[in-house]
Amino acid sequence: MIHRAAFLACLFIASLLCGCARSEFEVDREITASRNAAGPPEDRPFWWGVSTSSYQTEDAGPAAENLGFKTDWDLACESGFIDHARGQGTWSYSQVERDIAAMKSIGVTHYRFSVEWARVEPRPGEFNEAAIAHYANVARTVREAGIEPVVTLWHFTFPSWLSSESYSRHGWLHPRCAERWGPFVRKMVGALAPHVETFAPQNEPNAYAFGVLIQYFPPGGRPSYRRYLRILDAEAEAFIEAAKIIREIRADARVISVQSIIHWKKNLLDVGRFWYRKGLEYNYYHLDRIVEACDWIGINYYFREMAWPLSRWSQAMRRGRDVSEAGWYMDADGLAVEIAALSRRYGKPILITENGVPDKTDRTRQRYLMDHVFAVRRAIAQGHDVRGYFHWSLMDNYEWASGYEANFGLFAVDPRSRALVPKESARLFCLFATCGKIVQDMESIPAR
């Protein structure tokens, strides 16, 4: 296992060295965009939210809303590329009322969820109106419950018909993707616009491109830095197109760019800061290309990392109080640093759209949650325009290649009753969201 990991690490390094000169990334670029502020911070309600994604939580749902769709992740699991199958997720497609009740019990003001492109368009040009109506109903029901919906249009998965045996023609690089992306966005935004003001066209496009590069995401194939940049460029074009469509349909819509942001630390062995620059490129390359098309910048922040090609390989060997179960360095101060860096670089309002830690005991999560919320408060006190904080995730769910082993939720899921069982971290989140007032006892939320 170690020899295979070392081989892959060496292969990854070689592929980067062969193509890094092709990047046009500017390390010290500063963009003087308007802040789009809406009055002083004390005049704006702070958003307390939770985030989920369709593929990680949804069950199959009724046959009329399923139509036998498959995603590229389903195909990857069937082929053996992915070890862990999703199964029925956390039954969130069928248990919307349960999830809303859980959110209300902890004082959530905003709920970020995503739609499944494969379910909405199971075959090219064939839209599933029942599934579209379901997502519109979720947004409406959430809003009627006093929680504002924030909708992500794409969260890592593609319809099976955008898969390809050729790793250079998969997903965003598939010949039909650019053709079908616009109609999909127009169809979904048209249905959601009466109930949704805030849209995120994509989730972590930078993390997705990197996941393909290191073979964490389908389709596999040899690592290619050139393909990595091609994916980022294709994602940027798709984002700009989606933002335009969103504003055509709803002129007052708020468009958010949701990015994976890592707090990179310099390595003494990194002569010339080559790898550190690659870390900054990971954070900013996509944002630099789409910043003028978005209103706010969403930060998905989890950890700090050494800017070094063997860092990911070494995560499994790490131990310590400030190391998570996944081998991540937990660093709340790093979040404050990245908020400041993004503020300087782009000058736009910031929303923490994901923050959390894998923790089966829930003890680490409570400390992690408190440290990161306080880091956000410090950033605001320093004058940075941060509009809200979203925890990942509402409940323990399917975590991609890790399956169900990584527990990020404020709630656990009872596999027999399908009830959501609150953890102590849910109570802590509630104290933050309700300014110290527990509105009701923490109790299990039964399935409908």
Range of the domain at 271: 2-21+44-410
User: CB under 8 Å to 81, separation ≥6 — which residues?
Assistant: 218, 219, 220
* pLDDT digits 0-9 by tens, 176-192: 999 999 999 999 999 99
Examine residue 13 and state whether it is found in any structural domain, yes or no. Answer: yes
For residue 356, which phi and psi values (nearest 5 degrees)?
Answer: 180, 180
The pLDDT value recorded for residue 42 is 55
Q: How far is Cα 436 from Cα 432, in angstroms, rounded to an integer? A: 6
Residue 83 lies in a domain: yes
* Residue 361 counted as domain residue: yes
- Has residue 324 been placed in a domain? yes
Q: Answer yes or no: is 387 within a domain.
A: yes
Of 207, 384, 219, nearest to 303 (Cα)? Answer: 207
Residue 37 counted as domain residue: no
The CATH number of residue 255's host domain is 3.20.20.80
Given this model, what pLDDT does residue 442 score? Answer: 75
DSSP-derived 3-state class of residue 293: helix
In a domain, 419, yes or no: no
Interacting residues of 63 by C-beta distance below 8 A, sequence separation 6+: none
pLDDT for 33: 46
| Residue 421 maps to a domain | no
Residue stretches of the chain with pLDDT short of 50: 1-12, 14-19, 21, 33-40
Kindly state the helix (H) or strand (E) to which residue 11 belongs, with its residue range: helix 2-19
**Following DSSP, what letter does each residue of 316-362 receive, concatenated?**
GG--STTB-TTS-B--HHHHHHHHHHHHHHH---EEEEE-----SSS
262 by DSSP, 3-state: which? strand
Does pTM top 0.95 for this prediction?
no
Distance in angstroms (rounded) separating the CA atoms of residues 210 and 208? 5
pLDDT value, residue 163: 95
The total of structural domains in the chain comes to 1
The dihedral formed by the CA atoms of 385, 391, 392 and 394, expressed in degrees to the nearest 10: -140
Phi, psi for 111 (deg, rounded to 5):
-130, 120
Distance separating alpha carbons of residues 186 and 85, to the nearest angstrom: 31
